[in-house]
Amino acid sequence: MSNALPLVGLPADTYENSGFLFHSLGDKYVRALAEVSHVLPVMIPSMIDVLNLDSLLDHFDGILMTGAVSNVHPPHYGESASTDHEPYDHNRDGTTLKLIRAVIDRGIPLFCICRGFQELNVVMGGSLETELQRGEGRLDHRAQKSDDTDVRYAASHGVNITKGGFLNRILGKTETQVNSIHRQGVKTLGDGLNIEAVAPDGIIEAISVKGATSFAFGTQWHPEYKAAQNPDSAKLFNAFGDAVRAHARERYEVYEGVSRSA
C-alpha cells in the first residue's frame, strides 16, 4: 500500500460577500483531522449542481461533516421554516444531504459533528427541534456568552453513554462531560440510527448508523475543539483515523486486484 496519507473530505459552508459566493471550513475541524486522526483533510465545495458524487467519493476514504452557524432548512424534515430556525445555507443542504446518503451506501467512514449530526438524522428520516432551551425541564444547550473560546467550548453538562454501544466501546466508560454549542437538537430519531449518548434532560447527544461496517457516528457536541488536549476527543479522532486507514487499505487491495487481473 502507498505511504501517502488517506484523504478525508469536509463539505464547505457557503456565504456571500460583495456579491460573490465563498466556500469555507473551520480550522478546528481540519486541525483535528491532521493532528489527531493523521489524515489529509480536503474541502469539498458545496456545489452539488456541478459535482458528480460517485466520481468525487472515489477519491476519499472518509468524510467529516462539520458544525456550522447555519441550520438545516426545515422543509427537508417536513416542517415550515420560521425565524427560530434561521440562519440557512441552502448550498450546503443541497450537497450534504445527498452526500451523507451516498457515503453510508458506500460504507465510507463518516464522522458527523453538530450540524453534521443533525444532517445525519434528517437524511435518515428524522426531524429537528429548535430553541431547545424553551422546553420545560430543558437545559440551555447554547454556548456561554464569552469572547474566550475556551469558555464557550468548556464542558458544560454530562451525558449518559449507551452500554455496549459504539461510543462506549471507544471511550470505555458510560458517562462523560461534553461541551454544548447548539440551540437545535433531535426531535424524532431517524430510522436506522442508534442512540449512543443522552444529556440529563433527554436530548440525544450522540448517534450511530445501525449495521454500519465502519465508523458511522455523530456527536451533537464539538469534540474537534482542541481535540489533542481532550482524552475523549483524541480517542474519537484516533478511532476515525483508524477506520479511514482501514478503508484505504481495503480500497487499495481491491484496486490492485483489478489492476493485476486486467
The residues carrying an active-site annotation are 114, 222, 224
Rounded CA separation 121/190 (Å): 5
Task: Give residue 142's region: left, alpha or beta (phi > 0; psi -120 to 50).
Answer: beta
Rounded CA separation 141/138 (Å): 8
- Residue 49 has, within 13 A of its CA and on its CB side, a CA count of 3
Whether residue 13 contacts residue 3, with contact meaning beta carbons closer than 8 Å, is answered with no
Q: SS3 helix, strand, coil % of the chain, rounded to 5?
A: 35, 25, 40
Rounded CA separation 66/205 (Å): 15
